[in-house]
Amino acid sequence: MKDVKAYIEANRERFLEELFELIRIPSISAESEHKPDMLRCAEKWKEFLLKAGCDKAEVMPTEGNPVVYGEKIIDPAKPTVCVYGHYDVMPVAPLELWRTSPFEPVVKDGKIWARGADDDKGQSFMQAKAFEFMVKTGQLPCNVKFMLEGEEEIGSPSLYGFCEQHKELLKSDVILVCDTSMIAPDVPSITSGLRGLCYWEVEVTGANHDLHSGIYGGAVANPINILCKMIASLHDENGHITIPGFYDDVLVISDEERALMAQAPFNEEAYKKELDIKAVHGEKGYTTKERTGIRPCLDVCGIWGGHTGEGSKTVLPSKAYAKISTRLVANQNFHKISDLFQHHFESIAPDCVRVKVTPCHGGAAYVSPLEMKAYQAAEKAMETTYGKRPIPTRSGGSIPIVAGFENILGTKSILMGFGLGSDDIHAPNENYPLEQFFKGIETIPYFYEYFAR
């Protein structure tokens, strides 16, 4: 890949300006008032794909937000890379914790600060710019298909059906995904596994309306107290999840593989210091990396009920709510887990309250074998630009659609991400180091080169 560094250097400012145009569109898929922004963002992507060198590009409707599809077919006999990314972003609340406006990107301290700077506008835009470089310098060795969705952050509800409908159009030899992290700027890594996900909203109802906490307190069930008790009971004293059958399908990882994983550099003291915590907390018998890499977990992502405003209102509320999610590992079926949770949560409700469980989204875990040609191409690409062999890691995060691609399209994915743990994706002050952004653009063309050989 001749002159890739020089091309990046010459186009540096334009790349950033273009990315910022995407970031400025607040394409929050979880909030319905942003529907028009989803369409604007998709149209903007179509424009960029055509400019970058696609022969054709279109905004294709789905049941939800559209998919942006683009392609450049140089020779049907050559291998085809399908680029996957998403143009939707996470909500931004609590807004008061942002140091800069989430949708007005700022470059400071060598980083881009904005919602979507990394996840996934920054990372998917690297793919577009790497493609542009190969096209403009006549070095593109593969056919390329772009598939950019607008619902990743809400579980890709429409993309499964879209893939079913367009199997032929989306046919490729590998799907390249830049939506994960590497260990450190000088420790390249490739995500060889992802956790799955299952998410529910629960509602606990006591009396049919809010009551005076003096007149009724002590005699009528308080749905907040009950909800707390139910949530507390979901873990035992060793941090194991108590839902019957929850661990049944979890694969036991061999001691040998655990020993191998333990070689990845990890400084628990630095980890604790960065998060400002005195102690880590999780399932007994596993290390921190194992707890996020090879073990499932259960977290309350949100809880609310009663008086949450200023002052000390004495109320015995009628309702309490929580959003609860589990992360799943390979071989756990998220449909089965969804049913197990719902059944268990309803079964532990005392008869003084009513409980409603609403399943939200879910997705399976994914594992990418290290023997695969595409994995080895990614390994060599990173070795070329970083000067060292990347470490295979298992991420605690989830990209449920990646397991979907395998099931529906029969295509494996490669998760070559350039994010860092400090990028605060899904949190206030999301950021993405310029160094990672440009290094990603530099590395991706080598993946194409080695994959085409």
Residues 205-224 that bind a copy of itself (CB under 8 A): 206-222, 224
Which residues between 4 and 33 bind a copy of itself (CB under 8 A)?
Answer: 29-32
Return the residue of 189, 342, 395, 411 that touches a copy of itself, per CB under 8 A.
395
Among 135, 303, 372, 452, binds a copy of itself (CB under 8 A): 303
- Enumerate residues 228-287 that contact a copy of itself by CB under 8 A: 228-229, 231-233, 235, 275-283
Q: Which is nearer to a copy of itself, 62 or 318 (CB)?
A: 318
φ and ψ at residue 356, rounded to 5 degrees: -125, 130
Q: Which of 397, 417, 433, 445 binds a copy of itself (CB under 8 A)?
A: 397
Those residues whose C-beta lies under 8 Å from the C-beta of residue 17, and which sit 6 or more positions away, are none
Residue 184 in the binding site for a copy of itself (CB under 8 A): no
Count CB atoms within 10 A of the CB of residue 452. 15
- Helices 121-136, 434-452: axis angle to 10 degrees equals 50
For residues 301 and 370, which CB has a smaller minimum distance to a copy of itself in the complex?
A: 301
Instruction: Sketch the per residue contact string, 310 through 349, with a copy of itself: x for CB under 8 A, - otherwise.
Output: xxxxxxxx--xxxx-x-x----------------------
60-119 residues near a copy of itself, rule: CB under 8 A: 90-91, 93-94, 97
Residue 33 identity (one-letter amino acid): E
Q: Which is nearer to a copy of itself, 85 or 397 (CB)?
A: 397
Tell whether omega for the bond before 317 is within 30 degrees of 0, i.e. cis. no
**Minimal distance in Å, beta carbon 401 to a copy of itself?**
14
Closest distance to a copy of itself from the beta carbon of 211 (Å): 6
Kindly give, in sequence order, each residue whose CB lies less than 8 Å from that of residue 155, ignoring residues fewer than 6 positions away: 197, 199, 360, 361, 362, 363, 400
Closer by beta carbon to a copy of itself, 13 or else 310 = 310
Binding segment for a copy of itself (CB under 8 A), chosen from 13-21, 78-86, 302-310, 334-342, is 302-310
- For 313-375, the DSSP string reads --EE-SEEEEEEEEEE-TT--HHHHHHHHHHHHHHT--TTSEEEEEEEEEE--EE--TTSHHH
User: How many residues in the shown chain lie near a copy of itself by CB under 8 A?
Assistant: 103
Contact (CB, 8 A) for 227 and 252: no
Q: Which stretch binds a copy of itself (CB under 8 A): 54-62, 120-128, 167-175, 199-207?
A: 199-207
- Residue for token digits 């989830």? 398
d(CA 349, CA 258): 38
| Residues in region 115-174 near a copy of itself by CB under 8 A | 153-155
**Is residue 199 close enough to count as binding a copy of itself by CB under 8 A?**
yes
The rounded distance, in Å, linking the Cα atoms of 415 and 162 is: 21
Residues in Cβ contact with 449 at an 8 Å cutoff, skipping those fewer than 6 apart: 1, 141, 381
Half-sphere exposure of 136 (CA within 13 A, CB side): 16
Residue 218 or 410 having the CB closest to a copy of itself: 218
Rounded Cα–Cα distance for residues 292 and 288 (Å): 7
- CB nearer a copy of itself, residue 238 or residue 371: 238
Q: Which residues inside 348-377 make contact with a copy of itself, applying CB under 8 A?
A: 350-354, 360-361
CA atoms within 13 A on the CB side of 82: 24
Site for a copy of itself in 406-425 (CB under 8 A): 421, 424-425
Structure token pair of residue 267: 């400084």
Nearer to a copy of itself, 81 or 178 (CB): 178
Q: With respect to a copy of itself, which residue has the nearer C-beta, 107 or 360?
A: 360
